[in-house]
Structure 1
Amino acid sequence: MMIVVALIGGFILGILFFGGLWLTVKRTLGSPYVALWLLGSSLIRTGIVLTGFYFMAQGSLLQLLVSVAGFIAGRLLILRLTRQIEQKQVIVTESSPL
């Protein structure tokens, strides 16, 4: 049961981490405070992920590895979703007249 919880928890952490990274990059494109956004986001995202891994592992290497696998799966989902969003934005931008 704890293995399934570790997998789902890692998946959620991956979505939070990489989704937050994508949002941060989008936010910094028009911001005068790029370094502040990147540093703050990095510290918050990393802190959340490390804390999550600590509590999910509970001293078990197997649970830690399963949660890391879930984290990678979350990354793949965010990668797929953000590619689709970016492609739709490019299509809309290209089809609208200037």
Structure 2
Amino acid sequence: MNDLMVFAALFFVGMFLGIFFFGGLWLTVQKSTFSRRPWLWFSISLALRTGVIFVGFYLIAPGGLVWLVSSLTGFVAARGLVIVVTRSFPVHQEQKEVPHASER
């Protein structure tokens, strides 16, 4: 019974990491759509999200392969959850005209 609780906790830790990663990706796409420097949004977001995920899985790894599989299952499940939740948000239809680099 104790192992089941550990696996459930690891699953939810993986879900938290997945919500952070995929939710952060969704926010990055939303913010960079209207930004003058979308490459900056994507670069910083990728570094931050990947760093947090690496640290999270690094801390889980000493528990063994079963712990990693349990948390990775939660991570992948969070992707589906973020997709379902973000579909309920309206898509921005208006876009600002961002001048081309040669026109600045």
Q: Which residue of 1 aligns with 2:56?
A: 52
Q: Which residue of 1 aligns with 2:29?
A: 25
Which of 4, 9, 12 is the aligned partner of 1:5?
9
Q: Where do 5+ consecutive residues of structure 1 fail to align? A: 94-98
Structure with higher Rg: it is 2
Instruction: Summarize deviations over 1:48-89 as a string: whole Å, max 9, x none.
Output: 01111111232400100111100011111000011121xxx2
Flag as ranges the 4+ runs of structure 1 deviating above 3 A.
Answer: none
Q: Normalising by the residue count of structure 1, what TM-score does the alignment of the two structures yield?
A: 0.83
Partners of 1:41 and 1:57 in 2: CA distance: 24
More helix by percentage: 1
Q: Normalising by the residue count of structure 2, what TM-score does the alignment of the two structures yield?
A: 0.78
Q: Where do 5+ consecutive residues of structure 2 fail to align? A: 94-104
- Equivalenced residues, count: 88
Q: RMSD in angstroms over aligned alpha carbons?
A: 1.4
Seq. identity, %: 42
Partners of 2:6 and 2:61 in 1: CA distance: 9
Q: Displacement, 1:31?
A: 0.4
